Chains A and B, each alone.
Chain A
């Protein structure tokens, strides 16, 4: 396939692949050539003219000054980076690049990691020979994430190439021409792209900087950082949180060639600020008394032992979390086992559990090809079903945008249009729960098609027939097992000779796929029924706000009514911690170490940072302490990943050896691929098509509980509303802004918004993670 050739760089021979980019070859081998416009993900454009070197096609031909980023390796090529003319040239180019640069380095937020500085030093430029006035600009307000400082611009076009060309954003552009090109929006306003934060990294100077970091700026080298995995969705991007003096200052993407490569979404970048939120738990609590975290842990063990002694081991149950690590959830299971109980559950509902377990098992079964993010970029036809990909797994969406750029048609089946729909070849607005049937119709060309979907299905079938690497993405977070099954079936059916279809599911949390593979867990109903029937008296909850699983506060309160003892381990105050008898505070995710399993069954280890503060223990450490307090420490020593989770012994060994700077390992299923052990609950809408179905709409900003504690994210989250198709609203004689009271039918009410990109006979409401800040503030006041 690829052919090796030999080229000479500065007198040394290198074996490289034919056609490879010369600049990348040099950079990979530590031969630094100054460059600006080239970016590994964005590719070459040959605009900055900085990466010049003397290039000759062969040793006997004279070298010519050429751009290394625009040159592809060919056998015998001779490259001289250190050629005198090339050096002098680069020096002059960088001088010109900086013609208008304000040299405000001492007050610049790019300081310490400025590509312009690095390239200037690398190009040996020291002396400015021009003595004309510099052009200046007004800055724009670009929203709560990004600060704009146009005077620093060196006109490298990286920003528009990322924002527009790569991420397909439409509201940031290059304006004007000649020596006066302005990079910004048509007018001031919040940047629309879900990936705008990457401008901070992409811009080589300080034009686009992290507005939040600016407020609490620290020199980058003064930040404590350790590779971690983003905690805000199931994609599992690798990130680099930076702490200083006990607070999180910023989050940057860390390079991971198998996952997010260079970028992250704005929820990931700006959501990490939850770590600094006042509602972070700073002390332990036992029946209203503030005490030391470890003391609470010990006291909880005492109480649990007493309950077991009185009511038997089955009177204790646990609820694990999709935002806690494999290790912490396993430790919770061990703690429970040490108490003699098995009742541990992980999901919000039986349906969600069934769908997630089935999807996770398929993902790691090895029976179909599961797409990673880089794989998704190469798909030539994409089907997305069951939700808003941008809001629920943003970086998958960014990968799909790359496929779109390469010409892949995208077909979306969902009740409500999201950001990706504007680039889709076709979208079909469907009632929730009918996506599975539509997917099956596309895959089976002999199936009859209803008239409404005719055009969509015909086009989708045609695109599928024309494709070689189609891809199906389906939601596994809606409790729709039929959809999970249909996507699997689709993948198998359409993989034929000459065509490999791949598949990916997205899940409800950063470790949802992991806990979905837990061995011996129970359906959530087993826990709630046990509590209702007074069989379960004590509940241990790990990093989860149970109130989010109930549709109203009253329901939540009623469900907890019979519990005698509720113990919660978490890092933030939630409705659950507020209701708990005992609160054991742990450090935030970015201070914890552990392992997450992402949507593709990839396990990534993250290293926690030890940040001084009132709370220092991680969730796992606290759980282990509790197990040891029971005298069952041996259970920890003997624990295996493959006993806690349904993964193979080989995978278990691989996980043992996993390091945080690794791209992660994809695990394999331990047992055989079985149909879900629990029959799927009834699909969400068995209702007749004339009744309204409820669609809980996820938003990138506002629906995820941790990021909602970050002020800029909260600022951009939607206000509560009720949405209807204009036709439906007309039938009901409702107008925009009126109060839509659907409490009887659907349990929702609120100001009405009309949305013609919503399916008919569907009512949409936003999923909002309302922060518990007020509650915690009240509590603090009471305590003081």
Chain B
């Protein structure tokens, strides 16, 4: 494809879509499919044909629209009037009514107002095409400006300028640690010549997290484009996407996207007629959380046991098969095309001083609106939970919000007005993490929460280094004992000692962060622990023990 062909493709697609007076977008991301959106889409196609309206109404499967809890979501747009309405919880039975409403009034009982904060308070960069394009159609992506950034990088800019823009954007890694992306790219770019690789980390093992999966399912080309730009900037000609096998839909869409991009010459040899070559392969992971850690991921691609190794050397210096390797998270790479298109400065204007741009969160737990959201860095936690999230259901009281999954911490009410950025979250004992956000209400048992995450870490510990391997198992057993009311102050002291040990001395991030859920709940909800100890001096024994005492 030449730059000109890219333009014509975009125009043609716009025309093709624009000629329909009506468009129906059905969410075809995993969440809505699981509640039956594929059937809704089929029913719509049939019904329109029956009604003879298939020439004036386009049915399109699109990516995630965010409010997964209300799925299947359907958006009906009227090109002539230039407006659209959103429907929630749509079933196949609702389809005749929807079709009937095309020229008339919207179907009231399905209506999902679009002016609620859930939609208005978001700021979409990574998710900009979500709900708008068909992930299986490359032309749809191109129509939205896709591959323009790659074209610009290859034909108008050089690797150095690309690096400059990415550095200027202030983008930091979205995989968890928040390492400055520009700095990482420069390190790989500077590493001695020869073979280099780009790896897209799509392992996404945090329980409850599905940001990366959604990006791959809803806008896969964006990630491919980001990888190609990265390859160009650092001097790599090959890339791997490491994605867990539990994401079959994402894998299918990725495969399709790679094939389309190759066929269009947007991946492969001499992209846009330049000397730049780039190919992308998919590698499936078996779903071990630790395989998301970069050195374990690399070992896994190499066919070895997926266990981390100490760094340095960092992958940027010695990674896949000993070659300099750039490894970035899906969301990090998804931010690249808009940064190149609109410039680093534009990106840096969003967010806080040290945390630029937006962040995608998977909002879950005891909150009214759960689903996928993208918010500017610096937004208050309270705004996320109470505006976007619509608050706690059934008027119950908020207790804590957990960010960062098993590596993160629980943040209580008193910190809700804190801005969401890397440093602030760390200062209260949590982390940004990859974007899991679980809201807990007053009914939550914090020791149980800590135990839940510890069980996850214990099970997912790769078993290489002692502190994590033996420490998580002991911490889990201690937490279980506290839950059962069988523990003493000594056990609590041991738990705290283990937290210190595991945090400070584990080999990789899994172990180093595993104590965080315990530490933060101990910090903010200590009495929930002490009140259960046999000699706790709290306000009572655990019910089970108390009951046992009574019987005696």
A and B physically associate: yes
Q: Which residue of B lies closest to A182 (CB)?
A: B463
Residues of B within 8 A of A49 (CB): 465-467, 505-507
The answer to whether A67 touches B310 (Cβ under 8 A) is: yes
B470 within 8 A of A: yes
Nearest residue in A to B474 (C-beta to C-beta)?
Answer: A130
Question: Is B464 a contact of A89 with CB atoms below 8 Å?
Answer: no
Chain B hits for A50, CB < 8 A = 466
Interface residues, chain B, with chain A CB atoms under 8 Å away = 288, 290, 305, 309-310, 458-467, 469-474, 477, 490, 494, 497, 501, 504-507
Contact between B465 and A178 (Cβ–Cβ < 8 Å)?
A: no
Secondary structure of the B contact surface, majority rule = helix
Contact of A96 among B458, B466, B477 (CB under 8 A): B466
A517 CB within 8 Å of chain B: no
In the bound complex, how far is the Cα of B62 from the Cα of A750, in angstroms?
72
Residues of chain B contacted by A173 (CB below 8 angstroms): 305
In the complex, chain B residues whose CB is within 8 Å of the CB of A129: 490, 494
Chain A residue at smallest Cβ distance from B462: A177
Closest Cβ of chain B: how far from A157's Cβ, in Å? 7
Given A92-B501, A129-B494, check contact A178 B288 (CB 8 Å): no
Contact of A52 with B by CB under 8 A = yes
If the complex has contacts A48-B465, A96-B470, A179-B458, are A89 and B505 also in contact, measured as CB distance less than 8 A? yes
Could you say which of B458, B477, B505 has the most chain A C-beta atoms within 10 Å of its C-beta?
A: B505
Number of interface residues of A (CB under 8 A): 29
Answer yes or no: A45 CB below 8 A from chain B CBs: yes
- CA of A399 to CA of B309 in the docked complex: distance in angstroms? 25
Question: Contact between B466 and A48 (Cβ–Cβ < 8 Å)?
Answer: yes
The 6 closest A-B pairs by CB, nearest first: A96-B470, A46-B310, A179-B473, A181-B463, A178-B461, A177-B463
16 contacts between A and B (CB under 8 A): A46-B309, A46-B310, A49-B466, A93-B501, A96-B470, A96-B471, A99-B473, A99-B474, A129-B490, A130-B474, A130-B494, A155-B466, A177-B290, A177-B463, A178-B458, A179-B470
| B310 (CB) vs chain A CBs: closest residue | A46
Most buried by A among B288, B310, B459, B462: B310
Residues of A within 8 A of B467 (CB): 49, 93, 96
State how many angstroms separate the Cβ of A156 from the closest Cβ of chain B.
8
Cross-chain contact of A97 among B288, B310, B466 (Cβ < 8 A): B466
| Alpha-carbon separation in the docked complex, A173 to B307 (Å) | 13
Q: Mark A94-138, 1 if CB is under 8 A from B, else 0.
A: 001101000000000000000000000000000001101000000
Q: Which chain B positions have C-beta within 8 A of A155?
A: 463, 466, 469
Q: How far, in angstroms, from A97 to B470 measured CA to CA in the complex?
A: 7
Contact check, B505 vs A52: say whether CB atoms are below 8 A apart.
yes
The minimal Cβ–Cβ distance linking B318 to chain A, given in whole angstroms, is 14
Interface membership of chain A positions 26-67, coded 1 if the CB is closer than 8 angstroms to chain B and 0 otherwise: 000000000000000000011111101000000000000101
The docked-state distance in angstroms from the alpha carbon of A178 to that of B454 is 12
Judge whether B506 and A179 touch: CB under 8 Å.
no
Chain A residues packing against B (C-beta within 8 Å)? 45-50, 52, 65, 67, 70, 89, 92-93, 96-97, 99, 129-130, 132, 155, 157, 173-174, 176-181
Beyond A89-B504, A96-B469, A179-B470, list 14 extra A-B contacts (CB 8 Å): A46-B465, A47-B465, A47-B466, A48-B465, A49-B465, A67-B310, A70-B310, A92-B497, A96-B467, A96-B470, A129-B490, A132-B474, A177-B460, A178-B459
Closest to A94 in B: B466
Most chain B CB within a 10 A radius of its CB, from A45, A176, A179: A179
Question: Are A132's CB and B477's CB within 8 A?
Answer: yes
Residues on the A chain within 8 Å of B477, using CB: 132
- In the complex, what distance in Å separates the CA atom of A733 from the CA atom of B443? 82
A116 to B305, CA, bound (A): 26
The answer to whether A178 touches B497 (Cβ under 8 A) is no
Q: Which of B471, B472, B507 is the one whose CB lies under 8 Å from A46?
A: B507
Within the complex, what minimum Cβ distance (angstroms) separates B299 from chain A? 12
Give every chain B residue within 8 A of A181 (Cβ-Cβ): 463, 469
**CB distance B462 to A178 under 8 Å?**
yes
| CB-defined contacts of B462 to chain A, threshold 8 Å | 177-178
Q: How far is the CB of A407 from chain B (nearest CB, A)?
A: 9
A89 vs B501: C-alpha distance when bound (angstroms) = 7
- CA of A130 to CA of B469 in the docked complex: distance in angstroms? 14
Contact B309 A45 (CB under 8 A): yes
Contacts of B465 in A (CB 8 A): 46-49
Point out the residues of chain A lying under 8 angstroms from B310, CB to CB.
45-46, 67, 70
Interface centre among B463, B472, B494 (most CB of A within 10 A): B463
Distance to closest chain B CB from A173 (angstroms): 8
Indicate the member of B290, B458, B472, B473 with the most A CB atoms within 10 Å: B473
Chain A residues near B504 (CB, 8 Å)?
65, 89
**CB < 8 Å: which of A47, A96, A130, A132 contacts B464?**
A47
A177 B494 Cβ-Cβ under 8 A: no
- Say whether B507 contacts A176, CB under 8 Å: no
Contacts of A178 in B (CB 8 A): 458-463, 469, 472-473
Contact status of A96 and B459, CB under 8 A, knowing A49-B467, A155-B469: no
Chain B residue numbers with a CB within 8 Å of A97 are 466, 470
Chain B, residue nearest A181 (CB): B463
Shortest beta-carbon distance from B245 to chain A in Å: 17
Inter-chain CA distance A49–B468, complex, in Å, is 10
**In whole angstroms, what is the CA distance A50 to B469 when docked?**
14
The interface centre, meaning the residue of A52, A67, A93, A177 with most chain B CB atoms within 10 A of its CB, is A177
